[in-house]
Amino acid sequence: MHLNSMVVGNVKSLFVSKEDSTSRVEVESLEVDKFGILNDKYYNKNIHRSILITSLESYLLAKNHDILLPFGSLGENILIDFNPYSLKAGEQMKLGDVVVEISQNCTMCEHLSNIDKRLPELLKKDRGIFAKVINAGLLRNDEQIYLLN
């Protein structure tokens, strides 16, 4: 643990993408290494985009515009109760034993407009952030989240 780290929130839900599906499947834990999430269809495709982290705030924003979405709909792997969207590339978070580094904000996917045509504009800055794995490990629901920078 870094001396200047502080608890900012908790992991609420975890999801993987299966080869034969466009939706995410909720799981109890994620095993991650430097190439991403094991057993995820995007594993070892692009390490800078290997994990998508989304805040509960994104779902609340959609709900406030009468768009009700089940968790996982935004394509996230990790749903958290902390809003990380102001974090900059290079900043790090510790989730349980796993350390990730923010690599970029998530760009909008066309599939969001299939859910509701307002979603791409509504969530253009609030859909999620991509991260790469710095320290591999097993991530479980309800793990605490620390900012390390």
Q: Render pLDDT for 116-145 as a digit per residue (tens, 0 to 9).
A: 889 888 888 888 999 999 999 999 999 999
Cβ atoms 55, 83 nearer than 8 A: yes
* Lowest mean pLDDT across 3-12, 76-85, 98-107: 3-12
| 1 part of a folded domain | no
Put the strands of the sheet holding 29-33 in their side by side order. Answer: 36-37, 29-33, 137-140
Domain count, the chain: 1
Residue 117 lies in a domain: yes
- Going by C-alpha positions, the residue among 115, 83, 114, 84 that lies closest to residue 102 is 84
| Interatomic CA distance for residues 34 and 36, integer angstroms | 6
DSSP 3-state of 36: strand
What is the per-residue pLDDT across 21-65, written as a single tens digit (0 to 9) for each? Answer: 667 899 999 999 999 999 999 999 998 888 999 999 999 999 999
Looking up residue 27, the CATH number of its domain turns out to be 2.40.33.20
Residue 47 lies in domain? 6-147
